[in-house]
Amino acid sequence: MSTEKEKRNRKDNSELFKWDGNPSLGQMLPLAAQHVLAAVVGCVTPAILVANAANNAGGNVNMGLLIQVSLVFAALSTFLQLFGNKIHLGSGLPVIIGVSFAYVPTMTAIAAQAQNVDTILGAMVIGGIVAIIVGLSIKQIRKVFPPLVIGTVIFAIGLSLYTTAINYMAGNPSNTYEVIVEEQGKTAALVFGSWQNWLVAFITLGIVVALNHYGKGLFKLASILIGLVCGYVVALCFGMVDFSALSSAGWFQIPKPFEFGMRFEISAIIPLAILFLVNSIQAMGDFSATTSGGMDRLPTDKELNGGIIGYGISNIVSSCFGCPPTATFSQNVGIVGSTKVVARKVFAMAAGILLVAGMIPKFSALLRTIPQCVLGGAVASVFASIAMTGIKLLVTEKLTFRNTTVAGLSIAIGMGVSLSDGCLNQMTQSIHSALHMSMSLENFQSIINNTFASSPVVLATIFAVLLNLALPKDKPETE
């Protein structure tokens, strides 16, 4: 009897697993909502960090407006990826686009130096052009990115997100957050690393894991959303939820072009152009993780071509309105891999919710009331699935001594450099002296560190490509 019920549930939900499926509103809403909740922090947090960096240096960046345009253009960029493939300006794959954490260290350094975000926006235009060039030459570039290299990149992406998950689970490590706690007289439940944070995070994580393994139908598919709701209720009991942002937020707001201005400076263009190149390649990994996790195949050249060109164009357009750089969201890629839901209508609904949140500040303010520990508990399993997707791709290649050297050494260098603070400083000082650079040593070191040492993904990608090209190929086995 239970077997027949399971078959009926699978049949009822079958439209969710088709790209052009037509699921019901009741099926789509919880699944779209969990994509929104997984993405909203990624859209909001970089804007807050960049605005704080500029304002702490003496600037006057409108943080609320920066958050709104981040949500609006995350939605519009997602729509372009979902439907733009008909005109070769999108991948036509189930992805969510949002403001990328990969750019945050570089952006905060630039914003603090310029006391504004206008130089970031100018550099985004050049970076978007770099991405378009990568997209147009994808057939040639793809030859140097076989499953071995892509799997290594995806594995590095997953590993790089673990620190984020743990920091979320512990609360929020930023000094700004702790100052707010003191000013508002909140309880110790909000202090970074408190037992209350860990308890709420593990309750949320436990519910997500339990539903993933024991839940049926939509309870399993919407496990992250249900875990978030339950964790939110527990956080309310501990007094962790702050609704003050709701009272200060407006009801309706439309982004205006060039509200933040735009300026072109070489010191901002170089590091962001490099990051756009690397993130274009990383997008190949995310697109591959999406199709391999949700569709049991690798993306076609046409999908990669349109996806990366759309990525470049959407960043050029969004820069005119003040949105920080966007990219494919790995946490949402992980949701696709864990739920196998690929129906385009689900992702279109998620983009629509993000668009509404961007137009109605009070709605986005409500989403921002979700405590960090709740989000950390919900996304920890998602980040883990990203890393495992990379391992799955790696094992599609034979794990010979050569292949394990390529993957293992690339991950070791990428993770090692990103975790070793200041390990590149002496080298950059020597280069700076030898070349008699006009740029100050501090700025040069900041650019190098923010580009190559802020995330393991950059160096892991570079070394995986170089090692795969340089090491001799394995000889074919003879029967």
Asked if pLDDT for residue 184 goes beyond 50, the answer is: no
**How confident is residue 317, by pLDDT bands cut at 50, 70 and 90?**
very high
Ramachandran sector of residue 422 (left: φ over 0; alpha: ψ -120 to 50; beta: rest):
left
Model pLDDT for residues 387-434, shown as the tens digit of each residue: 887 888 888 888 888 999 999 999 999 888 877 777 877 888 888 788
Mean pLDDT to the nearest integer, 32-49:
77
Mean pLDDT to the nearest integer, 444-458:
73
Query: E-strand spans in 159-307?
Result: none
Number of Cβ within a 10 Å radius of residue 210: 13
Angstrom distance (rounded) from CA 134 to CA 309? 8
Model pLDDT for residues 198-217, shown as the tens digit of each residue: 888 899 999 888 988 887 76
Mean pLDDT to the nearest integer, 232-251:
78
Number of Cβ within a 10 Å radius of residue 106: 23
Whether the CB-CB separation of 75 and 329 falls below 8 Å is answered with no
Q: DSSP letter string over 332-386? A: HHHHHHHH----HHHHHHHHHHHHHHHH-HHHHHHHTTS-HHHHHHHHHHHHHHH
Angstrom distance (rounded) from CA 153 to CA 159? 10
Q: Is the Cα torsion angle 89, 92, 93, 97 positive or negative in sign?
A: positive
Of residues 274 and 467, more confidence is placed in 467
Give me the residue label for tokens 């630039």.
110
**How confident is residue 249, by pLDDT bands cut at 50, 70 and 90?**
low
Of residues 120 and 246, more confidence is placed in 120
Angstrom distance (rounded) from CA 159 to CA 418? 11
Cα torsion 51, 56, 60, 61 to 10°: value is 0
Share of the chain above pLDDT 90, in %: 16
Asked if pLDDT for residue 2 goes beyond 50, the answer is: no
Amino acid (one-letter) located at 231: G
What pLDDT sits at residue 129? Answer: 95
Angstrom distance (rounded) from CA 313 to CA 309? 6
Number of Cβ within a 10 Å radius of residue 276: 28
Angstrom distance (rounded) from CA 354 to CA 365? 12
Q: Is 315 strand, coil or helix?
A: helix
Angstrom distance (rounded) from CA 291 to CA 337? 8
3-state class percentages of the chain: helix first, strand second, coil last, to nearest 5: 75, 0, 25
**How confident is residue 477, by pLDDT bands cut at 50, 70 and 90?**
low
Q: How many CA atoms lie within 13 A of 421 on its CB side?
A: 0
Can you give the length of the chain in residues?
Answer: 479
Average pLDDT taken over every residue of the chain: 80
Of the candidates 139, 101, 240, the one whose C-alpha atom is nearest the C-alpha of residue 181 is 240
Of residues 208 and 435, more confidence is placed in 208
Of the candidates 346, 365, 370, the one whose C-alpha atom is nearest the C-alpha of residue 228 is 370
Tokens of 196: 């209350």
Of residues 270 and 344, more confidence is placed in 344
Cα torsion 343, 347, 350, 352 to 10°: value is -110
Whether the CB-CB separation of 257 and 320 falls below 8 Å is answered with yes
What pLDDT sits at residue 418? Answer: 78
Model pLDDT for residues 339-361, shown as the tens digit of each residue: 788 889 999 999 999 998 888 87
**How confident is residue 479, by pLDDT bands cut at 50, 70 and 90?**
very low
Model pLDDT for residues 133-174, shown as the tens digit of each residue: 988 887 777 777 788 887 887 788 778 777 777 877 887 655
Mean pLDDT to the nearest integer, 58-72:
84
Whether the CB-CB separation of 64 and 72 falls below 8 Å is answered with no
Whether the CB-CB separation of 208 and 378 falls below 8 Å is answered with yes
Whether the CB-CB separation of 99 and 47 falls below 8 Å is answered with yes
Angstrom distance (rounded) from CA 173 to CA 430? 33
